[in-house]
Amino acid sequence: MRAVRALLFSLAAFLSSVIAIRAEKPSPGSGGTQLSFKIPKGYEVGQESVSPDGRFAILYPLREEDAPQDYPPNLLVRLEPYAVVATLGEGEGHPQSARRELLARWNGNSVVAIWLAAKWGSADLWIYELENDKVKRVHPVFQEARKYFDRDFRQRFLKKYPKESDNFTFVSEENEEGGAQEIEFKGRTLSLNLFADNKPNLAGGPHWTAALRAVWDLDQAKFTKVDFRPGKIEVRGAPCWESEFRYDDRTTASKRRKAQALAAGRGVLWIGSRDFRRIYQIDPATWSVLQETEAPGIPWAAVWTGDIVRFTLGEGPDDDRYLRSLDPARGFREDRIACPDLTGSYLSFDGSHLYLSQWYKRRILKLDAAGNILRAIDVGAEICGHTFADGMIYVLRGVETPDEDWRIARLDPRQETPEVMDLAVVPFACRSLAFDGANFWTNHRAANEIISFALPA
């Protein structure tokens, strides 16, 4: 018999900028007066990057949804009279609010720390010293700090696990949780706190971490204090496929490793294991594994499209997101479509188009066959799953922290500006949403359960 945990949701109603300065727009603190300088076409001034005296700033290439992804470089400029002080980075431009974005922190009006903020944390850091409106010195702080991590990673980790990826990632969240600022000026010094992880996406296998607390002296142009702390090397649980899924009288469970991706179609479920990078085809009547496939990435989301299963897969050290297709008879196809900004998670399908949600941007994107954005639907909250049922989009929305507060809501995509209506409270930390034609399915990942439910009439 099919084991289903009946969920009775209590219905409850809920109520559900970065400002950029552009050419010929009011300047910071100008009271609405027009800027007397002109910046190059295709650029904007990042207000958060402006020096305290308003003389210097970073220029960002303008971001266009349908523009090619090769942007002109970011520039450190003097605003008035306009002059380029330095070309930043390695010539690769980063628009504001992009997945990889240059940020700035000034120490007075002549010293600025500029770092490249990536998905997990900082990817580079320089300190620019200015004198007479020109660059006096560039301090390659991140490059020097990375040497400590590289040496430890090679000697302690890669020698023992030579087949592992030779990449690791700097993670800001670990510093934030410990209350430490990643960078902080103190007079003519910069305090630096870095944490590195070879698998911040929680993938299985050998796991390495390390932390560094250091002080960079601007006058000596070097670290004067260094506290490097190697972390313990651990192996995250070895696969145990026989006990991956469990059945009992109450519910169904993804035992030992948390199920993430979930799709329903033709009487079967497709479940993706985030930790093992495996896809399982499951018979929900017997909870037997009908098929097992290795995924070419971390399976974050899935949707059945009638003959194939489409997945959002995370690849590489930055967990870049791509759309891939799984043919049940032949395995993963060669197609590989980059998600917008290489971000995105959950998927749904309206019979013609894929819909991809972006968790932190709180929106669902309608995509064409090439992955281009046709439409964006604002959901008004973080999104942890969505699916189509009877022409409507049902979405799991809410906030992850601090208490995993989620609701299931409904919207009509045929409306020009859909109204999002909350239907019920979800009393657990849900991930993914699928509809099999009769019931909804979701993962209670923290409890290792896969749950089927029907909404109250």
Under the phi-then-psi rule, with left for phi > 0, alpha for psi from -120 to 50, and beta for the rest, what region is 132?
left
pLDDT for the residue 204: 67
Same domain, 67 and 166: no
Q: What is the pLDDT of residues 394-418, one digit of tens each?
A: 999 999 887 888 999 999 999 999 9
Domain boundary among 203, 236, 269: 236
Higher pLDDT, 210 or 243: 210
Same domain? 96 vs 171: no
**pLDDT recorded at residue 178:** 52
Q: Based on the fold, state whether residues 313 and 430 are members of the same structural domain.
A: yes
pLDDT at 360: 84
Q: Are residues 387 and 291 in the same domain?
A: yes
Q: Residue 9 has what pLDDT? A: 33
Residue 181 lies in a domain: yes
Domain boundary among 216, 236, 256: 236
Same domain, 187 and 291: no
Output the CA–CA distances (angstroms, integers) from residue 283 to 221, 262, 276, 339, 341, in the order listed. 63, 13, 20, 30, 36
Structural domain includes residue 164: yes
One domain, residues 67 and 199: no
User: Residues 224, 332: one domain?
Assistant: no
The proportion of the chain whose per-residue pLDDT surpasses 90, expressed as a percent, equals 63
SS3 160: coil
Instruction: Note whether residue 4 is domain-resident.
Output: no
| Predicted local distance difference test score (pLDDT) of residue 457 | 58
Q: What is the DSSP string of 349-367?
A: E-SS-EEEEETTTTEEEEE
C-alpha distances out from residue 186 to 103, 111, 211, Å: 19, 12, 21
In the chain, the number of structural domains is 3
Most confident of 173-182, 274-283, 370-379: 370-379
CA–CA gap between residue 333 and residue 325 (Å, rounded): 6
Q: What is the mean pLDDT of residues 420-428?
A: 89
| Backbone Cα Rg of the chain | 25
Does residue 1 lie in a domain region? Answer: no
- The residue ranking higher by pLDDT, 378 or 424, is 378
311 shares its domain with 371: yes
Does residue 247 register a pLDDT over 80?
no
Domain annotation covers residue 13: no
107 and 179 share one domain:
no
Report angle CA 322, 323, 324 to the nearest 5 degrees: 115
| DSSP three-state, residue 313 | strand
Q: So what's the pLDDT on residue 421? A: 93
pLDDT at 315 over 50: yes
Residue 413 is predicted with a pLDDT of 96
Last residue of a domain, one of 194, 218, 236: 236
Q: What is the per-residue pLDDT for 26? A: 34
Q: Indicate whether 212 and 296 sit together in one domain.
A: no
Q: Are 57 and 125 contained in the same domain?
A: yes
Distance, CA of 192 to CA of 214 (rounded, Å): 5
Task: Report whether pLDDT(454) > 80.
Answer: yes
Whether residue 444 lies inside any domain: the answer is yes
Question: Distance (Å, rounded) from C-alpha 369 to C-alpha 69?
Answer: 18
The yes-or-no verdict on residue 351 having pLDDT over 80 is yes
Name the nearest CA neighbour of 126 among 142, 109, 150: 142
CATH number of the domain encompassing residue 339: 2.130.10.10
Which of 86, 121, 116 has its CA nearest to residue 101?
A: 116
The pLDDT mean for the chain works out to 84
More confident residue, 330 or 15: 330
Same domain, 269 and 223: no
Q: Which domain holds residue 173?
A: 141-236
Which amino acid belongs to residue 52?
P
Which among 71, 76, 18 is positioned nearest to 341, based on CA atoms?
A: 71
Tokens in use for 303? 């949707």
Does residue 6 belong to any structural domain of this protein? no
Segment 216-231, tens digit of pLDDT: 999 999 999 999 999 9
Answer whether residue 8 is part of any domain.
no
Q: What is the pLDDT of residues 182-237, one digit of tens each?
A: 999 999 999 999 999 998 866 667 899 999 999 999 999 999 999 999 999 988 64
Query: Averaged over 172-188, what is the pLDDT?
Result: 74
pTM of the model: 0.58
- pLDDT of amino acid 34: 37
